[in-house]
Chain A
Amino acid sequence: MTLTEQTILLQAPNPAAAENGRKLSKKGSFSGRCRTEDGTLYWAQCAGSGKTPYRVSVDWTAPEAPVCRCSCPSRQFPCKHALGLMFEQLSGKGFETADIPLDIAEKRARQAARAVKKEAAADEPPKPKKPNAAARKKKLAKQLEGLDMAEKMVDDLLSAGLGALAGSSAQTYDKLAKDLGSCYLTGPQTAFTRIALAVRTVQQSPDQAAGAYAEALRILVALRSTIKKSRAFLQDKLEAGSFTPEDSALFEALGGVWKLEDLRGIGSFQENARLVQLSFDVSFDRAKKEYVERGWWIDLDGGAIFQALNLRPVKALKYVKGEDSRFGLLEVPALYIYPGGGNRRARWESSSARPLTGGERSALPKLAQPDLAAAVKLAKGSIKNTLAPKFLAVLAPIGRLGRVGEEFVLEDPAGTRIVLRDRPEDGPDHACVERLETLPGEIPAGSALFGLMFCDGRDQSLCLHPYSVVTGAEIIRLLY
């Protein structure tokens, strides 16, 4: 594997850690640089704030998941010293060939033994799990109780009017919303927090009132639908005595968290997927107080567009590794796909990356919808679903890109048009329509535009927020 700066950045828990590692390398903090003859292990000493230098090593036995070890007390993983050692490698500094240190050899052996054990366990048929029926039944009952409470809260809220949700009443709703959490209904709990936040926005910035109230109402409508559908769903399960997760988007809407084994259990996975990232963005979810790092991936074989979400709660920001843009092709042995419609969420445990071949590159724009009309139909079909997000990521063919008056417009080869706009809900850090004007060079024929189709409430028109231009040679990202 060729070590690149991108590889190092992907290992870093956050950009600052990588930058600190680079600085350590630049200022010459490393001494005693060694490597094994086969080049799978690099180690050195790094001067740190302690009396004795830290002993740091990077084990490249599995190049996609290098094992970093360091004697520093940092809780970030990998620490800046390990990242710095990678930068030492990258900058081509001399490493003496030496025998593998004894302690690392022992750790390697233990790790290999664990891997063998895991492999052996994977070969064995999984033991059927015995669900704790009583506990699950109790949980379902509690959830149903919570749904009643949520419905009452919605009714109360609308009876008094959203405009009345201010000051102490907003705080009361916050408290009530927390009670929903105790009923295993974290989905509705978050919905109430979002409503309270939207109303607070109205109070703090009256000029944004229209947008904030519309947002609050959208959430209320979705909540009402969730409550109605979930009640029937949970009652059916309770009556049928079925307590295993099912292929239903309601599970997540109620706040359930899918485990990969459960997704495998319901058959929602795909083997040997080839994914290419079309775009990457990060937003902050004020209600959940977490950063949402979202990668948009296209399945090179089927053309489906997935979103991979990395959620980093503010409270645990240091301990959850940040995601970054990926530019190559990802080969995923098992791709787990969440239930639901639209752009389904996908996760994977392991993957290997490699650069895209010429053929794969040229195949990408061909995965676009046949025309804009098809993309629009798909988007409308998805957005109208009360529980679905109010946007759909699509890859649409480009005929021409231009302006009509002040509006940016995409025209497909058949002459159908759609207005290109920044989605207001995404905020100014996602604004990128203007960048179309400075796109490098001519867009070759046969290219496609990737973006989010959404309905702009200001003039009730369906628009496209462009994220990337996909040509047969490269993906030109308008965002990250």
Chain B
Amino acid sequence: MNLQPLYDVKSRLEQAAIAGVGLLGEDFRLQRAAEALKPLAAASPVFAKIDGGLAKLLTAPPERRPGLLLDVLALVDAVAYTQAKTGIDGELEPLPAGGGVYRQISYGQMQPLLTALTTTGGGRMETVQSAWDNHPEFFQDYRVLPAVVGGLGDSYGEMAELCATLLKKLGPAAVPAVKRGFDPAGKKEMARRVEVVAAIQGKEASPWLREILGPAKKDVRAAVITALGGDSGNTGLLLNLARYERGKNLDAALAGLALQDGEEVAAYWEERLQKDHLSVKFLSGARTEWASDLVARGLWELMERLLAGEREISADIHAMLRLWWSAARGKSSPSMLDLWRWTDAKLADIDQVRGEKGQRLGLGTELTALLLDSLCQAGPGPLCGLCLGLWEKHRGKARYLPHGAVASLLTRPAAEVYDEFSPYVPTSRPLLGGAQKQALHNAALAGLSEARWNGGAGRYEVGAGWPAAQPLDKRWAKRLTHAVWKTTMHDFKMPSPFGYGEHLDEYDLIITRLFDPAGPEIRQELAPYLRQRMRELGNYQTYSRWLFALGCTPQGALKDSMLQSGKPAYLYYVWGLLNDGAKSLTPDETARLCQEVLDANYIRREDTAMAQKVLPWTAEQLRAGRPFPEWNDWWNMR
């Protein structure tokens, strides 16, 4: 049965209701629709009823029309519902078995997470992060995962980055969802998807990346090319791309090519560097032999040309030199080692090179620092041998002392390193040659500053996270805390790692990160030293926290240090300090610190009255076995 006349009547009745039934008498369209319904009315009683209703409506006086119209409309609606078509013709293509995971997540758990991932506004990062911390399994759910993928396009960049990080952590399970609905011509969201897939799948992503490369555009294309660089099997493709891509895409191809190996790649780069010196920047991360050789050769030529000329260089040339030097960082092929030996031989000449206004550029110093940096990047290997050789050659001079110390820390027994380098950190003031000895002391500190204790990994590390050959000799703690000079190569103060506007000597920053604080011998040396420095310098916020990290208390030094600081304390910062202390000290020790702050009586005027109330109260609470109060507790007592 053709129901179109019924739907036409329904539509006309609705229009009449919108326009007002006052005009119903002139509604010829409704009349025409009513006419068209008549054949149906003849065929079925229910349509006849509608027809009757319509006839009544069209002939009714205006005051009765609204009611009649709604009556007919109710009838038409009821018939339309009962006559509604069901089903659909055509070939049914069964849904593929999805690879998703279902988790029993309640509305109360899922809705805040989905809202955070799909809407805008503040506090969303916290919600997502907290959900991840408490229930990482929620993110595998087939309802949540697409929302996380959608979050890659969040207008708040940090949220998008968080989603990318979480997807990477989810691993291969996230890949189908990330690939679903992928649009190669899309925007930043799609570029992030590429990055996520490449990070999860590594080389396995190559077939997909190759597939989408063709239609990929703008940001997505650059991301695809960058990702292709992660697989050595894509060398040919990258070489091809490097020939015709431009702008960001070319940069991505070059960055990828720099990580590849092989003769063809080396040949390409040789040709490329001749045409475009500046593209050497892409070779910074390359660790292949050919890349090292190419950079060494190019640098050698540049330096020779420089020394053969007038030994005056423009700012542009200087910038280009730095680009090349930067590319040399961490490289250690034989030709690179030769270059460093040649540089050492020519250092006097190099130091003569001046800027275009005749100013000294200190290129020799810059190069020496670069070698140290390069050694820290490369770790144990040929550069260590080179640096030890150079130190041996110039023993007794400050220039290669840091290099010798770092190479020794990486390769030699700890006791040997201490025996060789500790004399450069004197513990009694020399009668003669003080300035020269202090320069050697500073150089030794520059070497030691590259070493640190990594609590997370539970080991001593040197340079870019390389493990030290042996744990640091414990004698260093005594040596360094009793050193004559507390200076380093830098004669300026450094900001405190804890903030609070405190500025510190680099020396103390070095020694506090140098040692494993769990060692009792270390604690025995460092704690009194830090208390003493705290008294002298007045940086009580920083030094107290260092003491907390050692499991020690600043008690006895805190009052003097506060007074030495010369600036009355904000009570909120005092609360922060004591709160941090309470995490590692006993309640009694923290209570005594409260008393010491009170005794110092050096709180800013506005907070003094409050301090008089809260500090004794806190000490009382702690001694009664209660937790350290929140700031709100203090604030409410003001």
Contact = CB atoms under 8 A, between A and B. Distances in A.
Interface of A: 6, 9, 12, 14-16, 18-19, 22, 28-29, 31, 45, 47, 49-51, 53, 151, 154-155, 157-164, 213-214, 217-218, 220-221, 224-225, 280-282, 293, 322-327, 372, 376, 380, 383-386, 400-405, 407-409, 411, 416-419, 432, 435-442, 455, 459-462, 474, 476-478, 480
B70 A442 contact: no
Given A384-B78, A402-B94, A417-B92, A480 B100 contact: no
A411 B94 CA distance: 10
B362 interface: no
A51 B637 contact: yes
Nearest to B133: A26
B93 A403 contact: yes
Contacts of B617: 51
Given A400-B92, A407-B88, A462-B86, A327 B70 contact: no
B276 interface: no
Interface string B125-155: 0000010001000000011011000000000
A161 B70 contact: no
Interface in B6-58: 7, 14, 17-22
Given A29-B627, A154-B66, A478-B143, A325 B102 contact: no
Contacts of B626: 31, 45, 47, 53
Nearest to B19: A161
B99 interface: yes
A31 B20 CA distance: 71
Contact of A401 (B3, B94, B177): B94
A461 B86 contact: yes
Interface of B: 3, 7, 14, 17-22, 62-63, 65-67, 69-71, 73-74, 77-102, 104-112, 130, 134, 142-143, 145-146, 177, 180, 617, 625-627, 629-630, 632-633, 636-637
Contacts of B86: 372, 376, 416-418, 461-462
Contacts of B63: 155
A157 B91 CA distance: 48
B109 A49 contact: no
B625 A159 contact: no
Query: Nearest 5 A-B pairs (CB), nearest first?
Result: A161-B20, A158-B66, A480-B107, A417-B87, A224-B70
Contact of B98 (A164, A376, A418, A441): A441
Contacts of A162: 17-18
A217 to B, nearest CB: 6
A474 B104 CA distance: 10
Given A47-B630, A160-B22, A462-B85, A322 B93 contact: no
Contacts of B3: 460
B90 A322 contact: no
A459 B3 CA distance: 12
B88 A442 contact: no
A460 B17 contact: no
A204 B127 CA distance: 33
B69 A158 contact: yes
A282 B111 contact: yes
B90 to A, nearest CB: 4
A461 B636 CA distance: 64
Contacts of B96: 437
Contact of B82 (A29, A384, A461): A384
A50 B636 contact: yes
B638 to A, nearest CB: 11
Contact of B70 (A158, A281, A441): A158
A155 B107 contact: no
Nearest to B134: A22
B14 A409 contact: no
A439 B107 contact: no
A31 B633 CA distance: 16
Nearest to A30: B627
Contacts of A327: 104, 106
B102 A476 contact: yes
Given A324-B107, A402-B92, A439 B100 contact: yes
B404 to A, nearest CB: 48
Contact of A417 (B88, B95, B104, B632): B88
Nearest to A46: B627
A439 B17 contact: no
Given A29-B627, A158-B17, A401-B94, A9 B109 contact: yes
A121 B70 CA distance: 51
B94 to A, nearest CB: 4
B88 A18 contact: no
B199 to A, nearest CB: 22
Contact of B142 (A158, A163, A438): A438
15 contacts: A50-B636, A155-B63, A161-B18, A218-B77, A220-B17, A280-B107, A282-B111, A323-B107, A325-B107, A327-B104, A384-B81, A400-B92, A402-B93, A416-B87, A462-B85
B74 A436 contact: no
A151 B234 CA distance: 77
Contacts of A18: 108
Nearest to B76: A221
B634 to A, nearest CB: 10
A192 to B, nearest CB: 14
A352 B379 CA distance: 65
A408 to B, nearest CB: 8
A97 to B, nearest CB: 18
Nearest to B630: A47
A154 B7 CA distance: 24
Nearest to B617: A51
A194 B291 CA distance: 73
A439 B142 contact: yes
A461 B71 contact: no
Given A225-B74, A480-B107, A19 B130 contact: yes
Given A224-B67, A437-B98, 4 more contacts: A221-B77, A400-B92, A432-B143, A460-B7
B177 A438 contact: yes
Contacts of A380: 81-82, 84
B18 A213 contact: yes
A372 B88 CA distance: 13
A225 B72 CA distance: 11
B66 A31 contact: no
B91 A224 contact: no
Given A282-B107, A325-B106, A476-B102, A462 B84 contact: yes
Q: Which of B78, B84, B180 has the most CB of A within 10 A?
A: B84
Contacts of B90: 404-405
Q: Of A157, A401, A438, A442, which is in contact with the most chain B CB atoms at under 10 Å from its CB?
A: A438
